[in-house]
Structure 1
């Protein structure tokens, strides 16, 4: 892990690269503890940082590094002239949420309300809002603010702004420095610039994960020209990100090969998701036969893995894009990239424009994530299952259909 990456993950004002495959655990709702007096005082101090006078909100929060989530009452900020108030309908569960509630990156600001894959309906707009009206179906992704003045923002790359405000566990300096609280809640207030329009053709539960997983694979494919019919795309890993990458690649008209360590995933990849080929990365003969055949590779795996054999699959001048974040540094021998002029790049979600374009593309091609819809009171069990990779492929919380309960103090 580089010093730069360590600096990122310990700074709550900067974006944390998210991971989709590192296991964590949490207790089930039946074992969720009542909030002790000490935690209640922490919560009151946190609420004191919030802008007074905002609408009451109810969510589920983690109070400490156990990561156990339970009901939490708080207030959203007072809407400003350019703000949109959204009733949350669905929210996906991402591995980033798990890292945050467990404080794996050392920057969690408790109580933490996770969630950045939000779909909802507009219930109110400020007088200066021009793009939305009450009743519109909208989405909110990984971030809800940026400086709007730096070079990255000026080029439409808000996701790489040094002052980006994350949807959950971010520092909102424009609103008193309060910690942002995410989509595991019933309502959210967001500046209209960071709100996305959801096409009518998309089912809302299957759309929620697209606001993170979808744009994370779509954005680099567009940027690196991995969107042209007839090109050959390799997708490493068949999880929450990988299964969406397969769907996006096929919608672009590409030949798609899933690369996995698990032969058992072949049928799912080819017959259900529509991949053209399946390659077992632990099979030397299969890997040798595929050498130099791919124009690009999207690597979605967050566990440590050797990338030199994967780079051998690329054609000369081919491009690998890493979107997973392993705990240990990946090894990159120069001989794996220099002779063929190959490239290795990273990608962190996507800009507002990227995300809106992705949603329009998904609507046109009928792309949605494969999801298991749950109620909020199942969320701790879902986290336990996610630790074991026991989901196909994304949990989505039916927030509006859940009884969120009420925070209890002793």
Structure 2
């Protein structure tokens, strides 16, 4: 066991505070990672404040982890000391079910082991990236290409794959019109990736205050959803809408923006149930879908794609003692576009 410094929420809705946690000894197939940077995802706030249901405390959040390998187990073949690596939202799965064998470990039938707020196979709670080090099985560690700086790569381990996976699955590319709903931590990566895939990209945001940013990041068009004329002008326009917002939506209004057989895919997860008139999907043969991160192989594919196209997250680097301030600013939409913790400050 190794004792490391970390920032943890001691209880639901409590401010995060500096503490120490124990990391397991490096096993035969384990990799010890010196964490250099950890992104702050809105999911961290949902879970630390029990917005998505009962959680495990004390909780060290963080599933956007970038660092350097400092030790490997004797059976490790994929990594060596000094490698630049990342860890995303999961650190294990059953490896035996149909989904795991198909490379969809995130949909493990028995339930993937999440990087934090989960229970590992040893029966102990998992703790995340707001810490100095982490021990992870090599099969759930990603290689960060040399073309990506570790600080801007960290958010790709959640925000990048969460948007890349549905864009790929629903065929975003040349000749396709894609709308990104929301221009935050997820949305800004969705814009970058959809543009790099060759799609015609439109941002749908509450206001136009981020319009200049959206166009610089690769959007072709930018509309305010607070303007009723937006829904009149864009009716029937899109092949795909990726919703990155975690607030309840008027799904009927947004489904009306889809072409026949278009898809509205949710990657943001509101804390409250939503309502839907099914005629919104029946008329036009439309799809209302969801998507959750991606498998390990697809996450590596995303990292390689981002490196090839020079796509890192737009970040604000902070010291660890500003985590609680950052949480409040995320809730106020006051970040462009991802807070990243310099873990040397923990």
TM-score normalised by structure 1 residue count: 0.82
Pairing partner for 2:118 from 141, 149, 170: 170
Aligned to 2:328: 384
| Residue number among 178, 188, 192 corresponding to 1:233 in the alignment | 178
1:212 aligns with 2:158: yes
1:196 aligns with 2:136: no
Aligned partners of 2:332 and 2:259: how far apart in 1?
35
The structural deviation recorded for 1:221 is 1.1
In the TM superposition, residue 99 of structure 1 has moved relative to its aligned partner by 2.1
Counterpart of 1:186 in structure 2 is 132
Q: 2:240 aligned with 1:311, yes or no?
A: no
1:362 pairs with 2:314: no
What residue number does 1:250 align with?
A: 195
| C-alpha distance after superposition, 1:117-148 (max 9, x if no partner) | 00000001111111100000000000101011
Deviation at 1:166, TM superposition (A): 0.7
- State whether structure 2 residue 18 is matched by structure 1 residue 74: no
User: Deviation string for 1:299-321 (max 9, x for gaps)?
Assistant: 11111120212111111111111
- Does the aligned pair in 2 maintain the 1:258–1:279 contact within 8 Å? yes
Q: Contact between 2:223 and 2:230, CA under 8 Å: does it hold in 1?
A: yes
Query: What residue number does 1:126 align with?
Result: 73
Does the CA contact (< 8 Å) of 1:375 and 1:397 recur in 2?
yes
Give, in whole Å, the separation in 2 of the partners of 1:298 and 1:159.
Answer: 19
Contact 2:51 2:271 in 1 (8 A): no
Partner of 2:103: 156
Give the total of aligned pairs.
Answer: 345
Task: Please tell me whether Structure 1 or Structure 2 has the larger radius of gyration of its CA atoms.
Answer: 1
Distance in structure 2 (CA, Å) of the matches to 1:171 and 1:398: 26
Q: Distance in 1 between matches of 2:323 and 2:9?
A: 11
Q: CA deviation at 1:358?
A: 0.6
Pairwise CA RMSD: 1.3
Provide the residue aligned with 2:213 in structure 1. 268
**Could you tell me whether the CA contact under 8 Å between 1:279 and 1:287 is conserved in 2?**
no
Q: Which runs of 5+ in 2 are unaligned?
A: none
Matches within 5 A, 1:285-296: 285-296=229-240
Contact 2:181 2:203 in 1 (8 A): yes
With over 3 angstroms needed to count, the CA separation of the structure-2 counterparts of 1:307 and 1:66, relative to structure 1, is closer
Instruction: State the alpha-carbon separation in 1 of the partners of residues 330 and 265 from structure 2.
Output: 24
Residues 34 and 68 in structure 2, CA contact (< 8 A), matched pair in contact too: yes
Instruction: Give, in angstroms, the shift of residue 80 of structure 1.
Output: 1.1
Q: Does structure 2 retain, via aligned residues, the 8 Å contact 1:67–1:98?
A: no
Counterpart-to-counterpart distance in 2, 1:284 and 1:386: 26
- Is the CA contact (8 Å cut-off) linking 2:52 and 2:271 kept in structure 1? no
By how many angstroms is 1:160 displaced?
0.8
Give the conservation status (yes or no) of the 8 Å contact 2:207–2:223. no
Q: Are the equivalent residues in 2 in contact too, given 1:303–1:325 (CA < 8 A)?
A: yes
Q: Following TM superposition, by how much is the alpha carbon of 1:334 offset from its aligned partner in structure 2, in angstroms?
A: 2.2
CA contact (8 A) 2:165 2:298 kept: yes
Taking the aligned partners of 2:51 and 2:270, their CA distance within structure 1 comes to: 13
Q: Which residue of 2 aligns with 1:35?
A: none
